[in-house]
Structure 1
Amino acid sequence: MLPCRPLKMALNPRDLLMHLLVALFGMGSWVSVNSLWVELPVVVKELPEGWNLPAFLTVIIALGNVGPLAVTLSHRFCPPGRVSEPWLIRSVQGLSLVSAGFLAGFWDRRVLVAGEERSVPYLVLGYLLALGCCTSNVTFLPFMYSFPQQFVRSFFIGQGLSALLPCVLALAQGVGRLECHNNTWGNHSEPHYLQENFPVSSYFWGLFCFLGVSALAFFLLLILRERNKEEEQGEGPSQQRDGGSEDSYPLKSPEQEQPQEPPNGNNGEQSFWTARNVYLLVLLGLSNALTNGILPSVQTYSCLPYGPDAYHLSVILSNIANPAACFIAMCLLCRSSVILGVIMAVGMIFGGYLMVLAALSPCPPLVGSLAGVVLVILSWTLFLGLLSYLKVVIGSLLHEAGHSALLWCGAVIQIGSLVGALVMFPMVSIYHLFQSGRDCQDNCPL
């Protein structure tokens, strides 16, 4: 078998519709938390916590992990079939929709706590949104086991869109735009921040629409899945697999989704914990720690010294690289453990370069030069692109190991992201090991 083999893509209109719905469904998994982070530069100007708000946001997102913990324990101790993933997903989507709606209306309200004004509504509603996002990793992804393997890659494309769409909306809003004006005392410049094109409340209503589209896609997926099952029951096995594409395999019924007893007599849990699957989970956890926790914490430190345009291009192109890598995985799937390890190593090299830039902020190498701008943008794009491809391939391979494998896949994604965030939080917010530059005021030697 080739280590990287092209996949057959003979799709009919219904397959294309299913891919689109799965991507929109996956988009709702992390769009809430990504939107909170992207809108932060505007929100901090209005809320009393100021630039301490990112530290609060990091903590409440970490506390959101009680959701996946509760779901994982329920799957572990409840009898098979008692935990309904569709109902869990509906609950997560309903909670997120209600929270986003209230956030759009009450994000700037303040409450007096211990004699100081605090943005309690924003923090509470932000926590509820984070709870939904964290729980989605152990509900949305295991639900995809009821679909053929190819649709798992469409789901990861949707997760890439959950980062890209909030960035596009923020660009339309004009987040972070500034001009450098000369002051009246000499030859120094001062930043002049431009007014946004629409208010924060409108941005959060946009988040509400994203979540609504995702919930509608899930509703339509359930309908199409039931129709497909009814059609498959009326067809012979040979008819079900005609077409030659990976998508032509039938959907699994709830009974088929339950792990089956392997022929050697060992239980499914023991058969899953092979050396290869553990290796895949380690790569998955490490890649998510880097892409969701460690590097995002220092993205501003690594990019802003090269200018706001370099920062915005890094954010946009790296978030475009995410769904693009997922699409490549739909056409070319690498199964070789060695090649997956090489992809991980190359991604870590780019990540290491970005960490060096962040550590040397506000005057990293090549600052003020076109080469420095190109390198930082290229590094962010390739870093996220390579590790996004790695995560999609691992998710596809774990799909073959059964429903419990996808449950562990979601749990490891969340654990890796949490560990990465907890490692970086004290370094950035407590010990201040990274230094930020001042807009229009840093003069570094070329």
Structure 2
Amino acid sequence: INSVWIELPLIINSAPERWTLPSILSLVIGFANIFPLLVVALRWKLGKRFSEIPYIYIIIIVGIIACCSIGLFWNYTTYVFGAEHSVSLIGAVFALAMLDCTSSLVFCDYMRRFKAKYLHAKFFGESLTGILPIFIALAQGVGGEAQCIMNNVTLHVQPIYSEPRFSVSTFFFLISGIIALSLIAFMALRFTSIMKLAKADDQHWQQTSIESYEKLLVTKENSSESKKRSLSKANSMTEKEFFILQTSNVVNAAFVFGCLPTLVTYSILPYGQKTLYYCNILFPISYSLAAL
């Protein structure tokens, strides 16, 4: 979904919603959060029969279709409720938001097959999904910069927008290609020896840990029990700490994903198209740096 925010400086100029478009898209993305709740409900209902693998395929394929749809229909408008609206764009963004909202939940569930240390690689790889669109956007150029030019016919000043190196459609077709590569990577992870090696290594690691632990029990049983109790107490989290962390997470998410995107055009666009362009680029970079 970061690719949509990066392209906003170019999309806003053609969309009938203009500066209100980020607010509408933020609302649509918020509605897409219902899909993770559906996945949680399905997992609770199916129990051990639940498998996240089919949902991963569905999520990735929907993401490819959504990006292609944005590339084809981002500037199409439909007459609804007495005015023109970017219905195609909003619908495709909703589908793409479903991918973003649900992927983190489902992919984390899939990571149970690996050691815990691989979870850090997952989060770092997830942050790169914001970096790759940035490189494409930098190659695309700013564009959309308004220049006031006198019309020789009407003798009125009218804005002329500069063109980027390639169009918004090309940008989203490239993004859909990146998502298609992720589908190929997931299939390679499932059907090649990579997964088997990871499982074998994990089993060997578990067996080694069990043997070492049994030897430790034989030699220092009393000491081991006391250490286990100390570690368990140190690693446990109280209900108060859990509540504080979750509350902080909700507040941060409300500002980062709710308030800031809706205000970006009103707070930054008056300073110029380039300012909005670079702010939209720096936001995904900050997430990647935090993941490091």
Contact 1:61-1:130 at 8 Å conserved across structures: yes
Are residues 290 and 46 of structure 1, via their aligned partners in 2, closer, same or farther at CA, if it must alter by over 3 Å?
closer
The whole-number CA distance in structure 2 between the counterparts of 1:99 and 1:305 is 31
In structure 1, list runs of 5 or more residues that go unmatched.
1-32, 242-270, 328-446
Give the structure 2 partner of residue 225 of structure 1: 195
Contact 1:64-1:127 at 8 Å conserved across structures: yes
Residue type of the partner of 1:322? Y
The 5 A counterparts of 1:56-135 are 56-76=24-44, 78-113=45-80, 116-135=83-102
Give the structure 1 partner of residue 178 of structure 2: 210
Residue 195 (str. 1) matches residue 163 (str. 2): yes
Residue type of the partner of 1:82? R
Decide which structure has greater helix share: 2
TM-score between the two structures when normalised by the length of structure 1: 0.50
Residue type of the partner of 1:326? A
Residue 280 (str. 1) matches residue 245 (str. 2): yes
Contact 1:97-1:208 at 8 Å conserved across structures: yes
Greater Rg, structure 1 or structure 2?
2
Contact 2:62-2:96 at 8 Å conserved across structures: yes
Are residues 303 and 80 of structure 1, via their aligned partners in 2, closer, same or farther at CA, if it must alter by over 3 Å?
same
Give the structure 2 partner of residue 395 of structure 1: none
The 5 A counterparts of 1:28-427 are 33-76=1-44, 78-113=45-80, 116-176=83-143, 178=145, 192-222=160-190, 223=192, 224-230=194-200, 237-238=207-208, 274-304=239-269, 310-327=275-292
Q: CA deviation at 1:93?
A: 0.8
Q: For 1:332-375, what per-residue CA distance to the aligned partner results, in whole angstroms no more than 9, with x for missing partners?
A: xxxxxxxxxxxxxxxxxxxxxxxxxxxxxxxxxxxxxxxxxxxx
Q: CA deviation at 1:238?
A: 2.9
Are residues 106 and 179 of structure 1, via their aligned partners in 2, closer, same or farther at CA, if it must alter by over 3 Å?
closer
Contact 2:146-2:159 at 8 Å conserved across structures: yes
Q: Which moved more, 1:49-58 or 1:210-219?
A: 49-58
Contact 1:172-1:197 at 8 Å conserved across structures: yes
In structure 2, list runs of 5 or more residues that go unmatched.
152-156, 212-235
Q: CA deviation at 1:231?
A: 5.8
Tell me which of the two structures has the higher relative contact order, counting C-alpha pairs closer than 8 angstroms and 6 or more residues apart. Answer: 2
The whole-number CA distance in structure 2 between the counterparts of 1:302 and 1:52 is 12
Percent of aligned pairs sharing the same letter: 30
Alignment length (residue pairs): 263
Q: CA deviation at 1:167?
A: 3.1
Contact 1:167-1:315 at 8 Å conserved across structures: no
